[in-house]
Amino acid sequence: MNQSRKPRSRLFWGIGLTALFLVAIFGAWTFLGNNPMHNQSEWPTQFQSNGERIYFTGTSTSGGTITAKGGGRHMRMMGGACANCHGADRLGGRMMPQFWLEVPPLTSYALFGGQEVDDHGSNANESESDHGNHDFYTDETLGRAIAQGIDPSGKSLNSAMPRWSISSSDLVDLIAYLRNHVQDGQQDDH
């Protein structure tokens, strides 16, 4: 009689632990917020520049091939475009299914520095995290980060960041888009 209760008890514990795990995962998905996957409805349907097109689609207007080497599980699940990880608003956020990873922002301030002011005259950058312990990017160092995965200080970026095979003209267009981001009808002055 005691023998038959052990398998049943293990089954209930297994079901309970599985349910707890699923609740934790879905709770993290909901409560960790600012997940770039949540804002695909905000993506433009028409692009103002080749750089914007590359950012959102991973394709060039010239038809040039842009491919990625490496990258994390999220990129393989969601496809190869910057916006899939960094979001339409370029603020980055937590990644799913690896919610413990946080993708850095790609706003012009986060990349190149400077001062952006919101509609109320406040510093719009207070909530943006920095990009790590290195200097801000230049066009040259950002190009190196995109193609080779090396930050301005010469250190390798996280392996979740793919290394992109992109033509030099497409890279210039993408960097120009990242530098001159238009948000809420205002052009950055960087």
Beta partners for residue 117, in sequence order: 123
pLDDT of residue 103: 83
Residue 10 phi, psi (nearest 5): -65, -40
pLDDT of residue 30: 47
What gap in Å lies between CA 143 and CA 130, rounded to an integer? 18
Residue 125 phi, psi (nearest 5): -100, 0
| 9-13-15 Cα angle (round to 5) | 115
What gap in Å lies between CA 50 and CA 4, rounded to an integer? 67
Q: Whole-model pTM above 0.85?
A: no
CA-wise closest residue to 124 among 75, 42, 190, 28: 190
Res 170 pLDDT > 90: yes
Chain segment 42-78, per-residue pLDDT in tens: 788 899 999 999 999 899 998 877 888 877 665 665 5
Summarize the confidence of residues 30-52 as an average pLDDT: 70
More confident residue, 15 or 41: 15
Can you read off the two tokens belonging to residue 190?
A: 């960087």
182: three-class secondary structure by DSSP: strand
Chain segment 98-132, per-residue pLDDT in tens: 666 788 899 999 999 865 544 433 344 444 445 56
More confident residue, 23 or 148: 148
What is the identity of the amino acid at 186? Answer: Q
- Domain boundaries in the chain? 1-31, 34-187
